[in-house]
Structure 1
């Protein structure tokens, strides 16, 4: 495969149900799309399956797409796999992650809609880096609020954003009312960083808040990962019956997994694949959260979406979950989880970083800590250690980005990283107790 696909593929026509409508903070049903370019709105709600990639975006994709895929034989041996493990590597671009795929598409659509500055929140920094570079590509300004603890751990992520002209703020910051009102000790919350970005973007009509993970259109853009993987596996004469990706909000997992779901529903695959989302045990929304309406940020002023969530105000504990620290899963991923179309498993930071180190020493590619969660889950599944999963053909795992700017996390692993602290059940209950359950409203 020498050329990336020419179209994105939507899974919406294959679900068999409609996604629950968003709700405004006052409880009104309906889409909340203020400031969102019309084409991104269409990509989120239309039953259209294939969406042609605009040529300016396609030209930029060709710099690193198709992203490589290979059989990770040495990693297989290291983890005791009994079936092949295939790795799809998304770290070969300036952002170092899959995030650049949707960042370029979104910058294109926002620029065409007349916006001149994009504002965002970022956890581990991959999305902030991706958006900064994408804004530079289309001549736009960029402002990023990055989780403060993450920025201190990974200062060179900040350097990369500033290199591309972005204005960077550690969150919570004194720049916004939300930041000033937030306890400085709560510096591990992506919900707060996103909330600050939402508030700041409202200060100028030429600014737009932009997010890169949980929205349905961003998952659509990431479908290139799975579309390429299907073609590349066919080129190798290989078959997989399990697909694994890590989940913060869901764009990486959705990107690699949902094209397999669509292809299976369309009768294009001989062997359907189980789709497994690997999340952090520090933010276990899919495995320990509730399916409810919750805010996507900590301001309480934005839309409420139907999601698996541990609560937007749940205090995420200090960990190396990196970009997986978001409190909720995308509404598309959440609906598929609710309908039994995907499954999920939680991975602790020690196991994730150990899997990342094993991949680095065997395959000579250093994964981001987020990707370590997927690699740990893939190792469990391929070696028969994950209950409920017995693959017979092979496992595909998405290595969502490189870890070259995440070396402090690996340093701490080498120094004897403390054992993981499980999420506090009482804190989980308290953070979700007042959220309206989706089933009580939508009849799901």
Structure 2
């Protein structure tokens, strides 16, 4: 740790994996090559080298000091509200301009891209937290920023767009009329995969621009390790006992950031790690009902095919307020660990998630994002009677650590629907899930999951 208490090194889990990650598959286009993403070599190295500790550039550490270390506390009011049997400790990442953990990797990526000579960063965003974080990082490092935001989410949260534009970004509601991938998409498709696909296409044809992604890549999970590293020190200072760590999962950077440093520490010490629980949306149940297969990460169909737990990139994900969780697949690092029983998962509906967020707001005076509500709902179950999960009943016996990944001040429309009794959950269509996963190439030894309680254990 640096003298100010801000980590000055990131910690990678790669050296502690039982075997290397499965290699990507690059599909071939008619011209013979896929879309090329201009990735700085340092990010490439962070994705593939089994090096445990990586020095954080001084400029990035300086930027972190504006909002790090982030607070951790025992949520006694929340414990009382949910009838917890064991303590619940909260690590809160919402106190920065983006309102979420996304700024941790946005600052690092903008630094590396700027050093590589890139003038403009382009990306897709779901709930808008990543887009806001990237806009802020680009502003800090003197770069242009273009964001394709899931249209339904932007219409619900127009002030996300306002904030990004205030930071200097250009914001487009996806699907747009600017890209071929959007023109060829099925009518009514409105997903993060499509927004990312538009960003990939736009960046590939724009001089001086590069596509930039904020969640599922191995290097972005590495950058998020500051969350878990800080949390470990803060918990030690409190002499806190815990045996479960929880985070919500879209593609996986928030969960990876809070959970994987604990896994690495246990592996290094030769001890049993805590129960690591990924809380996903029941509308997008890749880790509880998906298959471990090669799938595309965006809607272009020309980027690398990665080994991931997925419900299929063609699956029409039901609409929900948790746009940041509406991604069809999980990061390849987390997927590999899920396949080896090293992490567990549970699916949470948005009504349960927002109700947990309501209770947390009353008990702790912090309004969580809907995505974070999924983690809080899972933490409440773990600390109470147990949560239905990927290896049966998941339960904490000592204490739970949960990452509240962001604030919900731009999500009050969702809470209004909850309070008015208008919020509902739309269950995934089993037939549509089967069709979306049916043509995928399974990773060796993988099998499709069939329900929230099916699949591997911890």
Q: Deviations over 1:287-324 (max 9, x none)?
A: 00111000000110111000001111111111122200
Shift of 1:183: 4.1
Number of paired residues?
Answer: 436
| 1:233 equivalent among 235, 239, 242 | 235
How far apart, CA to CA, are the structure 2 residues paired with 1:337 and 1:304? 18
Alpha-carbon RMSD across the aligned residues, in angstroms, is 1.6
How far apart, CA to CA, are the structure 1 residues paired with 2:384 and 2:35? 44
What is residue 275 of structure 2 aligned with on the other side?
Answer: 274
| 2:381–2:387 CA contact under 8 A, matched in 1 | yes
Q: Deviations over 1:357-406 (max 9, x none)?
A: 11011100000000000000000000023243232211000000000011
- What are the equivalent positions in structure 2 for 1:246-395 lying under 5 Å apart? 246-267=248-269, 272-387=273-388, 388-395=393-400
Aligned residue for 2:250, secondary structure, equals: coil
* TM-score (normalised: structure 1): 0.96
Q: Deviations over 1:221-251 (max 9, x none)?
A: 0000000000000000112110000000000
| 2:37–2:211 CA contact under 8 A, matched in 1 | no
Shift of 1:418: 3.9
How far apart, CA to CA, are the structure 2 residues paired with 1:429 and 1:342? 24
| 1:135 equivalent among 135, 138, 141 | 138
What is residue 439 of structure 2 aligned with on the other side?
Answer: 434
Q: Deviations over 1:89-141 (max 9, x none)?
A: 00010000000000000000000001000000000000000000000000000
Alignment CA distance shift 1:65-1:33 (3 Å)? farther
Please list every run of 5 or more consecutive structure 2 residues that lacks an aligned counterpart in the other structure.
447-458
Aligned residue for 1:276, secondary structure, equals: strand
* TM-score (normalised: structure 2): 0.93
How far apart, CA to CA, are the structure 2 residues paired with 1:349 and 1:392? 26
| 2:106 equivalent among 98, 103, 108 | 103
Aligned residue for 2:425, secondary structure, equals: coil
| 1:350–1:417 CA contact under 8 A, matched in 2 | no
How far apart, CA to CA, are the structure 1 residues paired with 2:417 and 2:362? 17
| 2:35–2:204 CA contact under 8 A, matched in 1 | no
What is residue 77 of structure 1 aligned with on the other side?
Answer: 80
1:45 is aligned to 2:48: yes
1:178 is aligned to 2:181: yes
1:407 is aligned to 2:409: no
How far apart, CA to CA, are the structure 2 residues paired with 1:400 and 1:272? 22
| 2:71–2:91 CA contact under 8 A, matched in 1 | yes
Comparing 346-355 with 202-211, which one deviates more in the overlay?
202-211
Please list every run of 5 or more consecutive structure 1 residues that lacks an aligned counterpart in the other structure.
none
Q: Deviations over 1:157-197 (max 9, x none)?
A: 0001000110000000011111222345222x100000000
What is residue 211 of structure 1 aligned with on the other side?
Answer: 213
How far apart, CA to CA, are the structure 2 residues paired with 1:418 and 1:165? 34
1:112 is aligned to 2:121: no
How far apart, CA to CA, are the structure 2 residues paired with 1:440 and 1:352? 33
Comparing 63-72 with 431-440, which one deviates more in the overlay?
431-440
Alignment CA distance shift 1:343-1:56 (3 Å)? same
Alignment CA distance shift 1:63-1:25 (3 Å)? same
Shift of 1:33: 6.8
Aligned residue for 1:307, secondary structure, equals: strand
Comparing 381-390 with 60-69, which one deviates more in the overlay?
381-390
Shift of 1:440: 6.2
Q: Which runs of 4+ in 1 moved over 4 A?
A: none
